[in-house]
Amino acid sequence: MNIFRLFGDLSHLAAIIILLLKIWKSRSCAGISGKSQILFAIVFTTRYLDLLTSFISLYNTSMKMIYIGCSYATVYLIYAKFRATYDGNHDSFRVEFLIVPVGGLAVLINHDFSLLEILWTFSIYLESVAILPQLFMISKTGEAETITTHYLFCQGLYRALYLINWIWRFYFEGFFDMIAIVAGVVQTILYCDFFYLYVTKVLKGKKLSLPA
The domains of the chain are located at 3-201
Grade residue 17 by pLDDT with cuts at 50, 70 and 90: very high
pTM of the model: 0.89
> How far is the C-alpha of 192 from the C-alpha of 163, rounded, in Å?
14
CB atoms under 10 Å from CB of 49, counted, come to: 15
Query: Does residue 54 carry a pLDDT above 60?
Result: yes
Q: What is the mean pLDDT of the chain?
A: 88
- Give me the mean pLDDT over the 36-55 stretch: 94
For 117, the 3-state DSSP assignment is helix
Q: What is the DSSP string of 31-98?
A: T--HHHHHHHHHHHHHHGGGGGT----HHHHHHHHHHHHHHHHHHHIIIIITGGG--TTT----THHH
- Give me the mean pLDDT over the 96-101 stretch: 96
C-alpha separations of 85 from 17, 21, 28, 123 in Å: 19, 15, 5, 29
Which residues partner with 209 through β-bridges?
A: 143
CA 162 to chain centre: 12
pLDDT (tens digit per residue) in 108-125: 999 988 999 999 999 999
> How far is the C-alpha of 196 from the C-alpha of 13, rounded, in Å?
22
Q: Write down the pLDDT at residue 202.
A: 54
pLDDT (tens digit per residue) in 163-182: 899 889 888 888 888 898 88
Grade residue 206 by pLDDT with cuts at 50, 70 and 90: low
In b/e form, how buried is each residue of 64-89, taking b as 16+ CB within 10 angstroms?
bebbbebbbbbbebbeeebeebbbee
Lowest mean pLDDT among 14-23, 103-112, 158-167, 198-207: 198-207
27, 31, 32, 33: CA torsion to nearest 10: 140
Least Cα distance to 47 among 119, 131, 105, 99 occurs for: 119
Q: How many helices (H) and strands (E) does the chain have?
A: 8, 2
What is the identity of the amino acid at 197? L
Please, which residues have CB within 8 angstroms of residue 37's CB and are 6 or more apart in sequence? 71, 74, 75, 78
Query: Does residue 96 carry a pLDDT above 80?
Result: yes
Grade residue 62 by pLDDT with cuts at 50, 70 and 90: very high
Q: Write down the pLDDT at residue 58.
A: 94
CB atoms under 10 Å from CB of 61, counted, come to: 15
| CA triple 136-186-66, angle to 5 deg | 80
Query: Does residue 196 carry a pLDDT above 80?
Result: no
